[in-house]
Structure formats: structure tokens, C-alpha cells
Structure 1
Amino acid sequence: MARHTVRRSSTRAGLAALLALPLALGACGGGSGGGSASGDPGTLRVLDYYNSEPNASLWNSAIEECGTTVGVKISREAVPGDTLIQKVLQQSSSKTLPDVLMLDNPDVQQIAESGALAPLDDLGIDSTGVADGVLKASTYEGKLYALQPVTNTIALFYNKKTLEAAGVTPPTTWDELKAAAAKLTAGDQYGFAMSNINTYEGTWQFLPFMWSNGGDEKDINTPETAAALQLVKDLMTSGALSQSSVNWSQADVADQFTAGKAAMMINGPWNFGPLDETEGLEYGIVPIPVPQAGGKSVSPFGGEAWAVPQTGDEEKMKKAAELVQCLNSDENEVEISLGTGTVPTKPELAGQVTSKNPNLQAFADQVPDLRARTGELGPEWPDAATKIYTAVQNALVGGMTPEEALEQAQNG
């Protein structure tokens, strides 16, 4: 998500089922895949969901400039985020897929599985320098199907004035988090806030705790994941985390933080705008606390990747691949990161961004260790994500222990 992929993708739990038949049928016309209305051979059709600022202007400029570099005209269509997949389904069925397609990174493997995308390796795409976890999200059965230039993730935001007044330093471990959250809880202010909602958003926010403690989505019924869930439950039981968090989206969490009702929160850089507009708010950002001192915080990542659909027009597909390569150039990664509050997927470029926007440091530092939600389970990830947020809900408000909730979710 250029701003917050997770919110949008959380509405599509049934994506795999929706894709299976239409895209598979669309990809059966010989070896050419979904097919495309050929149109002007010198024009590339581009489909994305960057229809709001600052993404709309920044990406339009990058796409147009890359079109000039590649030597083609651009016909770009930007649709609302929650309609993109349906648009792709329709175009696949009518054999009018675009030449270049932007996809939310967790969707890439499911679209690739359908046969609608061309392997970028076969088109000469160079992915050198991109973080391994980012590449895994766009890889299916050993082949890369999309390339992602920028990304985002989540971290711990804290109110500098509030922590300073309480004599609290930003926590780095789970024990420090519990102690700090307890000390910062007073009156109508909670010490800590996060989204525990029963959607993919809730899963997204729980993953850093689960992964950093050695938990794994292939089987969530483990002591490692139970300990992570116990941490969240303990925070809620102690009163440092609101019970209402089981209904909060990430936007709701940000609202609590800006209103002074939460001293710390887990959230992402897409909130910089509202935070910076809040009079008197001074905030800092650090990695999400880990189980033990010295451990690594492992988080999921958002953002969109660019793919080349199987249109059957080999010459245009080659030009499309050149455009994708251009969009992922070092220059574009840096410029778009600075313009949208994201970070480059190539760790070596981080300094060029953080030197101009220090608030991005905590996010850029995580890029080498970012983990793809679909990295292990591929198209089966939505099922695991559903199990995770179901277990979180059952443990927090369903009266179950973490062990009971995880066992039921995993085996139920």
C-alpha cells in the first residue's frame, strides 16, 4: 500500500475464490495468457489504484517519464482500490488486460497462480538489491512476477512529552513495554494502543509480536505464538490497552493517539499527515519491542508491486517490462519514498531518504528483515490470516486462554 495497503486488502478475504475460475479461463487461450486488446502498438495501457494525492500525481509523473524513457505513450487508468481486483477479473474474461498492472503485494501470488502474469525473469527484469522478503512476496513457484519499488511497515510511535513527563524511555523489550504502558496509563489515557480488530488489519498488527518470538503462520498453535498473544492479553487485562481495541482499525488507533488518549501506539507512516497537523503533538518512532534485549523486530510490509500481464503481444510485453524496470529505478524509489512517506525496497537507498525525512528511519531500518505475509503460504495466506485474528479476538474478548484460542483457530 502506498499509504496503507492493509486496510484495503483486509476487505478481500475471498480473493482466491473469486480469482480461481475467471482468471484461469482467461489464461487458457493458448500460451498467451489472459489476452489484451492490442490497440496502438506504441502505447502501453497501465492500470493502478493510485487515485488520491500525493500518490496520484507522483506516480502519474513517474509513469509518464518512464514511458518517455522506454519510447512509448501511456494510457493510464486509476481505479478505486477496492475495485481493482474486480476490474482485473473483468479484463481477464474479456481479454483486455492492461500491459502493465499494479497489484497490492499480497495479491501477486494469487494472480500469478491463475496464469495471468508473465514471469519477469523471462523478460530480463533485474531485481538486484531488493530486500529478500519483498521479493518473496512477488515470487510464485520460484519465479518473480512483480517488482515493488517502495514499501512501508509498522513501528512504535510515542508521545515525547508524555513519556518525558512520566520519566519513561521508549521500550525496546516486552517487559519494558508492559512496564512503560502501565506507568503511562492514567485517567482517560491508555499507555498503549494497537488494532486488534477481526480483519487482516488485526493480523497485520499482531504479526511483529508473533514473528519476533519465533511464531509461524503455518501452525499458529505453538508456545511461541501463545506467548505473543499472552503479551497482548496481559496489556489489556492490566488496563494499559483498551478493550475497545478489538474494534479499532489502524485509523482509529491513530485517532486515539492524536487525541492524547494513548501514549504509545503501533502504526505506520501513512499517519504522518494527521500527526503533523495535530497542534502541540511531538512524537518519536522506534521499532516494535522484542521478547528479549538484542532481538530483531520482524514485521510485515505493505506496498504495491508492478507486473506484466500475459497479453500475447510479445513486443509490448517487452516494453512493459522496461517500464516496470524504470519504475523501480533507484531515482524513482527515492523520489516516491520521499513524496509518499514510504521507504525504498533496496536497503542501500535508505540513507538518501532518511537524511531528508528522519521520521522514516525506524521503518527503513526494518527493510532488510521485513517478512512477506505470503512468503511461506502463498495463495493460502488469507486462511492463516483469518485464523490469527480469530484467535486474537477469542483470547481478548472470548474468554479463552491464548493456548485455547490458538488451538481452536488452527484446528477448527
Structure 2
Amino acid sequence: MKDIWKKVSIFFLAMLIVSFSGCYNASKEKKEKTVAEQKENLVIWAYYETQAQRNGLNELVKNFNQSQNEYEVEWEYVPMTGFVKGLSSAYTENKLPDMAILDNPDTPSLIRLGMFEDITEQVKNWNLEEEYYQSILNTVKYEERYYGLPLNCNSTALFYNKHILEEAGVTPPSDWQELKEAAEKLTTKDRSGFLMCGMEGEQGAFQILPWILSAGGTVDAIDGLPWTETFEFFSELLKSGSMSANCINLTQTDVAREFNEGKTAMMQNGPWVLPMLKEAGTDYGIVSLPENGSPAAVLGGENIIIIKGKNAEGSLVFLNYCMENEELFKFCKSASILPAKISAAKEMAAEDEDMKVFEEQMNYAVSRTSVPQWETIAQKLTDRMYSLVQEN
């Protein structure tokens, strides 16, 4: 009889513990939910499409949310091709986010439209002029006022498949003639020697512009001989089959997929594709883009801005968290992009051999916003590439 009562007592004690534990957990979850509900919600729009970029932003947002009890940030994906149009539409419909992470050449025109918060007074002690690359900092300035902060920066370089080049006895090219000869030698029935993104829009124009600058073009004079030489060079690559005509249909991410699949031996691309290459196990190398007279690079990267009329106070807390902590470095490292802060970019290049070329190119990288009427020029660049494909 005693054994029965002992077993019953143990059973009820166990049930009591389970019940208490369940109540405790429920109470804890309810408390956490209540805290989250009390926070002010902040929304960011971003067009990040690679998994590494998304993971980096997810981690940045999560860490910020856990660091304080006032604001809860979330980010929403908006495709790059319709990003600016989406902001404009949302502006008229009053459905704007609090912040946006957008391509640096898109920033000045939207500043002039009055869409972004002037944060000059709030950041006057942040030493922006000393700590950030001037070329990208200029994209958030208008009439000596600041309307956002540079978040990250990048450029494009030449990636090559080490195994394919070694097998063919080809060394990474350093000038246009070497690239032409190498691409022809590396081209087979199932593989192009070289590939770039020539599609309509900002991505294609971003990849075409450095070739024109290397041929002697300047931000004030894109046309003329440099323009002619560049497109004649592209025409030769297309005519020989060394560059696929499909370049006008491929995003930069698509080009990286072709590279991973062995469909091209060399490609023009940026550091954001590095996680894709590493995950695929591709044996790659990176060198500066082949020159035609002088080295050239075009500044890429994003700025983070605050939408006028939205939660500026909370957004500034988030911007301060990003810029003043190690979070910016961790985010950029995860997303395989350079921080726009000079010291952080140099630190990353010292740690990561793959980033050295891109960090070095920041010393002479040209911003697209420095090109007068860039939007019109960008359209002409990709229109000409499309015409070349039709001609060849």
C-alpha cells in the first residue's frame, strides 16, 4: 500500500512541476510578446537578393532589436529593377517605409525631390568627411547638407576559374588585348571565355562604364573615341563567340551562376558574389579589370536614408547603432561587401585576401553620380550593348 501511495505522490509532484514549468514559459512568452508589442515599429526597404546579403541584414536587424526596448525594426524586399519607382509610388500613396537601403547613384535625384530627411545637425559630430570615402559620401550630400549615410561600397573586377585557365595555359589578362586572346583560347562549344552583365538598367551600365573610363573617357566626356573603342572591343568579343550574346539578359547574379556552372571561364563581377562561389566550391582568382591605358573602377554600393515625414528619431537610433558599433563590419563581412568607412574597409581587406582588389580600387573609383545626366547616359550604354548583340 505504501508503494502505491509513493508512486501516486511522485506522479502528482511531476505533474505539478510540469504545470509550473508550463505556466512559467507561458508567462515568459507573454512578457516577451508584450515588450515587442510596446516597441515602435520601423520598416526598411532593401533590394538585396543574394542569400549572403539577406543573412547579413537579418542579423543586423535582429541584433539591433535585441539591443534595446524602444524600437522593433523589420526589412522588406523590393526588387532592384523597380526600387526607385516603388519609392515614388509609395510616396504618392503614403505607404512609405521609415528607411531605405538604395543604390548610391539613385540617391541624389531623390534628395532633390525632397523625399529624404535632412540629418545634418544630428550627424555633425560623426566625422563623416574624415571617416568615409569621399566619392560615396558625396552621393548623400546636397548643397552641403546630409540626407543619409553611406552604408557600403564596392566595384567590379575580373574573376577567373583557376583550373580552366591552368589547363589551357592561360594567365589572367591585364589589358584588353590579353583579355581578347585569353577569351578566344578559353572559348569552347559549351563555354564562353568571358562574360559580363550587359542588361538594360543600372547593373548593365555599372559594368560597362569602367571599360570606357579605362579607354580614356572621363565623367565629363563619355562619348567620342573611348566610347567607340569600348564598343568595338565588345563587338569583337561577341563576333568571335568569346562573350555570350545572352549577356544582355543576365543579371550580375546570373553571371555568377554561369561562372559556377563552368559556362564561362572569366567574368566581370563584384564581391557580393563571393559567397556563391565559395558555396559552389569554385576554384577562382580575382584581379583588377584589364586596362586600356589606365586602371578604372566604378563605385557601387548602397546608402541608407530616412524617409521624410516618417519616424526620424527611431531611424537615427538605428543608424547610430549601425555606424558606431562593430555591427557595420559584421554586416558587410557577412554580405561580402566593403564598409563605406575607410578604417573598416582596410581592416576587412587585411583579413580577407579576396577583398584586397576591391579596397585598392576605392582609391580611384568614380561615382556614377559624378557623370552629368547619368540616367540618360546609363540608358545609352545599355541600348548600345543591345544593338551590338543584334548586329553580331
TM-score range normalised by the length of the shorter chain: 0.7 to 0.9
What is the Cα deviation at residue 251 of structure 1? Answer: 3.4
1:328 to 298, 323, 333: 323
Instruction: Label 1:60 to 1:243 Cα distance change in 2 as closer, same or farther (>3 A).
Output: closer
The structure carrying a bigger helix percent of its residues is 2
Instruction: Label 1:129 to 1:177 Cα distance change in 2 as closer, same or farther (>3 A).
Output: same
SS of residue in 1 equivalent to 2:374: helix
SS of residue in 1 equivalent to 2:292: coil
State how far apart, in whole Å, the 2-side matches of 1:42 and 1:212 are: 51
1:43 aligned partner = 40
1:306 aligned partner = 304
Is 1:171 matched with 2:170?
no
1:8 aligned partner = none
2:31 aligned partner = none
Structure 1, unmatched stretches of 5+, are 1-39, 400-412
Given that 1:353 and 1:360 are in contact with CA atoms closer than 8 Å, whether structure 2 keeps it comes out as yes
After superposition, where does 1:257-272 map in structure 2 within 5 Å?
257-272=259-274
Q: Partner letter of residue 332 of structure 2?
A: S
State how far apart, in whole Å, the 2-side matches of 1:91 and 1:185 are: 46
State how far apart, in whole Å, the 1-side matches of 2:107 and 2:254 are: 28
Larger Rg: 2
State how far apart, in whole Å, the 2-side matches of 1:233 and 1:96 are: 45
TM-score by length of 2: 0.78
1:360 to 355, 358, 365: 355
What is the Cα deviation at residue 353 of structure 1? Answer: 1.9
What is the Cα deviation at residue 86 of structure 1? Answer: 5.8
Given that 2:46 and 2:100 are in contact with CA atoms closer than 8 Å, whether structure 1 keeps it comes out as no
Instruction: Label 1:161 to 1:321 Cα distance change in 2 as closer, same or farther (>3 A).
Output: same
Given that 2:52 and 2:336 are in contact with CA atoms closer than 8 Å, whether structure 1 keeps it comes out as no
Structure 2, unmatched stretches of 5+, are 1-36
State how far apart, in whole Å, the 1-side matches of 2:48 and 2:184 are: 42
After superposition, where does 1:95-244 map in structure 2 within 5 Å?
97-125=96-124, 126=126, 127=128, 128-216=130-218, 219-244=221-246
CA deviation digits over 1:52-93, x for unaligned, max 9? 744445334434555677873234342433565566445534
Instruction: Label 1:196 to 1:60 Cα distance change in 2 as closer, same or farther (>3 A).
Output: closer
Moved more, 220-229 or 179-188: 179-188
CA deviation digits over 1:111-147, x for unaligned, max 9? 2111121223232253232112211222334433111
SS of residue in 2 equivalent to 1:198: coil
State how far apart, in whole Å, the 2-side matches of 1:80 and 1:244 are: 25
After superposition, where does 1:50-89 map in structure 2 within 5 Å?
53-63=51-61, 65-66=63-64, 72-81=70-79, 85=84, 88-89=87-88
Is 1:297 matched with 2:296?
yes
What is the Cα deviation at residue 386 of structure 1? Answer: 0.6
Moved more, 42-51 or 185-194: 42-51
Instruction: Label 1:184 to 1:249 Cα distance change in 2 as closer, same or farther (>3 A).
Output: same
Given that 1:201 and 1:250 are in contact with CA atoms closer than 8 Å, whether structure 2 keeps it comes out as yes
Moved more, 64-73 or 327-336: 64-73
Is 1:255 matched with 2:257?
yes
State how far apart, in whole Å, the 2-side matches of 1:64 and 1:257 are: 33
What is the Cα deviation at residue 227 of structure 1? Answer: 1.5
1:345 aligned partner = 340
Instruction: Label 1:57 to 1:341 Cα distance change in 2 as closer, same or farther (>3 A).
Output: closer
State how far apart, in whole Å, the 1-side matches of 2:83 and 2:390 are: 34
State how far apart, in whole Å, the 2-side matches of 1:318 and 1:229 are: 49
State how far apart, in whole Å, the 1-side matches of 2:100 and 2:352 are: 29
Given that 1:347 and 1:368 are in contact with CA atoms closer than 8 Å, whether structure 2 keeps it comes out as no
Given that 1:174 and 1:290 are in contact with CA atoms closer than 8 Å, whether structure 2 keeps it comes out as yes
* Aligned pairs, number: 351
Instruction: Label 1:185 to 1:90 Cα distance change in 2 as closer, same or farther (>3 A).
Output: closer
1:9 aligned partner = none
